[in-house]
A and B are shown apart, each in its own frame.
Chain A
Amino acid sequence: MTPHAASASPASPLDVVAVRDQFPALHQLVHGKPLAYLDNAATTQKPQVVLDALRNYYERDNANVHRGVHALSERATASYESARRSVQRFLNARSEREIIFTRNATESINLVARAWGDWQLRPGDEVLITAMEHHSNIVPWQMACARTGAILKVAPIDDRGDVILEEFATLLTPRTKMLAVVHLSNALGTINPIEDMIAAARRVGATVLIDGSQAAYHMAVDVQALDPDFYVLTGHKVYGPTGIGVLYGRESLLQACPPFLGGGDMISSVTFEKSEWNELPYKFEAGTPNIADAIGLGAAIEFVRGIGFDAIGAHESMLLAYATARLSSVPGLTIIGTARRKASVVSFVMDDLHPHDIGTIVDREGVAIRTGHHCAQPVMDRFGIPATARASLAMYNTTDDIDALVVALDRVRQLLG
C-alpha cells in the first residue's frame, strides 16, 4: 500500500482524497510505481461499501429470492428489491416495475432487440443507429434485422465526433421503427444531444433505446425528463460489480412486450398447455437472478448519489480541461474526439507510434490506459486509424494521474523515438 500524493484542486468541490480512500484498489504499486488508473470507460474501481455489501450478502443473507419463507430468503429478497429501488431513484423512473436486472448493458440491448424487435420489426422497417455506437449497440440490431427483414441505417459523424444532425434528420423517417443511440461515446467522449434526438424520434413515431453505459458514471440521468422508451446501463461502469446490468423500460411498453427468456420466476402459473407471465419486472427476469451483484450495484448507486453528480461533474470537467491541455502539449499527439459536449474521455494517437506499444510502455510506469478499437471499429474506420490510446477519467482521478501519463508518454517517445 502506498499513499497516493493526491492534489486536491481548488477548482474542484470534490474532496478527492476522501473519495480515493474509499477505493482500496487505487492504493497499490504497479511495476513499482503508484497506480494511475485511467481506464474507467472499460470498468471503474469499486468502493469499500460495494465490497462490504457483497461480503455481507454472502456471509449473512445468502438465499434465493422471491420464494423462500425463511429469514435469509426474506432478507435477500428485501436487499435485492431495495437495490432495484436505488436504480429506480438513480434514473428517476416512475416505478420499480420499469427496472429489469440483466447481466450487463449488452444483454439489456439484446433483450430489447429480441423481445421488442422480433415482436415489432417488419420487412422494410428501419433501425437507426449512429456511427459512434459500441459494438453492443450495433450487432444485436444487425441480428434483429437479419431475423425480421428490417434495415439498419447509420447516422454519420463529423471530424469532431458529433452526429451530423442534418443527416440524422434525413435518415429519421416514418419508416424508422427504432432509434438506438449511445448517450455518451466510449471511444470519443461525445455526449449526444439525446433530448433533441428523442423528440425527433417521437415525431416520426419511432421507439427509442438509449445506451447509457458510459453516461451512468459521468452524469445524472432522468428518464422521465429524457423520455426514452428504453435506457440501458451496466453496473461495473458505475462503481458496481461486474455481471449486473439494468434495462429501464417504459411500463406500458414492457407490459405489451413478450418476454425474452422463459423459465422460473418469470411466470405466474405453468401447465403443459400454457404458462401465464409474471408481472413486471419479473416477467423479464427468468431464473435465479444475480442477487449479490444487484445488491452490490445498489450500494454503488447509493455511494454515487451520496457524492452527487454536481460535485462529480465539476471535478471531471476540471480533469477533462487539464488532461486536454496537458496532452495537447505532448509533441506529435493528436486528440481524437473533440465534440462540442464532451465527458472526461480523451482518445489520442501519437504520430506513427502504435497505441498498443504506447499502452505497454505506460503500463510499466504504473499508468493504466486502454488501447485498441474500444469495441467501436466503425469509429476507428471513420477516422482512418486502426486504434487509439484512451485515458478515461473518473471521480477519483487527480491531476497527478494525468501528469503521470504525460511523463510516461515522454518515456514512450524516448524508447521508440
Chain B
Amino acid sequence: MQDLNDLYQEVILDHNRRPRNYGPLPDATQSAKGHNPLCGDKLTLLLKVEGDRITGISFEGSGCAISKSSASLMTDAVKGHTIDEATALFDKFHRMVTTPIDQPVDEEAVGKLAVLAGVREFPARVKCASLAWHTLKAALTNAPIPAKTE
C-alpha cells in the first residue's frame, strides 16, 4: 500500500480538507474554467495580475482530493510571483508528473509541489493533478476580464 500512501500524503489530505486561497476574488483581472470531463472535476481560477506579477489568486469548484489539493498548492506557489516565474513552474511541474516512475524527480525545482510526485504511479490521476495548472495557463492567456462599470 506504499503507493497509496505516496499518493495521499498528509500534506495533500490537508490541502484537500482545508484548501488555501479558496473562494471568490472580487478584484480579479483574469479567469479561466477548467473541466476534467473524465471525472467531472470543475475548477474556476481567478487571478489578479498587476503588471507582470500575479498579486492575487483564488479558485473555486469541486473535484477529487488530488485536483483540489493540487489547485491549493499551486495557488500558494505562484502567488506574488511573476507570470514568467509561474510559467516556468508550470513547466517544472509538468515535467515532474510526466517523469517515468523509475526516474527521480527534481524535488528542488518544484519545492512543496513535490508531494504530488506520487501521482505518477496512477496514470489515470495525472490529469487530476494537472487540471489547475492547465487552467492557470489558460487564465494567463485569456483576455482580461472587462472592468466593471458599476
Interface residues of A (CB under 8 A from B): 354-357, 360-361, 364, 371-373, 377, 380, 386-387, 415-417
Contact = CB atoms under 8 A, between A and B. Distances in A.
B104 interface: no
Contacts of A416: 8, 13, 16, 65
Contact of B64 (A354, A373, A415): A354
Given A356-B128, A364-B1, A416-B13, A386 B42 contact: yes
A416 B124 CA distance: 19
Given A416-B13, A416-B65, A360 B7 contact: yes
Interface residues of B, number: 24
Contacts of A360: 4, 7, 122, 124-125
A387 B38 CA distance: 10
Contacts, number: 53
Contacts of A372: 38-40
A219 B116 CA distance: 45
Interface string B114-147: 0000000010110010000000000000000000
Interface in B61-84: 62-66, 68
A136 to B, nearest CB: 15
A377 B37 CA distance: 9
B85 interface: no
Interface of B: 1, 3-5, 7-8, 13, 16, 37-42, 62-66, 68, 122, 124-125, 128
Contact of B40 (A364, A373, A415): A373
15 contacts: A354-B62, A354-B64, A355-B64, A356-B39, A356-B66, A357-B64, A372-B39, A372-B40, A373-B37, A373-B39, A373-B40, A377-B40, A386-B63, A415-B5, A416-B13
- B38, B65, B125, most chain A CB atoms within 10 A: B65
Contacts of A354: 39, 62-65, 68
A356 B63 CA distance: 9
Contacts of A364: 1, 3-4
A387 B124 contact: no
Given A364-B3, A415-B4, A357 B66 contact: yes
A417 to B, nearest CB: 7
B149 to A, nearest CB: 33
A380 B7 contact: no
Contacts of A355: 39, 64
Contacts of A387: 39-40
Given A354-B63, A357-B66, A364-B1, A415 B8 contact: yes
Nearest to A32: B1
Contacts of A377: 40
Contacts of A380: 40
Nearest to A364: B4
A417 B16 CA distance: 11
Contacts of B64: 354-357
Nearest to A386: B40
A276 to B, nearest CB: 44
B113 to A, nearest CB: 19
Closest 6 CB pairs of A and B: A386-B40, A354-B64, A356-B64, A387-B40, A356-B39, A357-B65
A134 to B, nearest CB: 14
A357 B125 CA distance: 9
A373 B110 CA distance: 33
Contacts of A371: 39
Given A371-B39, A380-B40, A361 B4 contact: yes
B124 to A, nearest CB: 7
Nearest to A375: B37
A354 B63 CA distance: 7
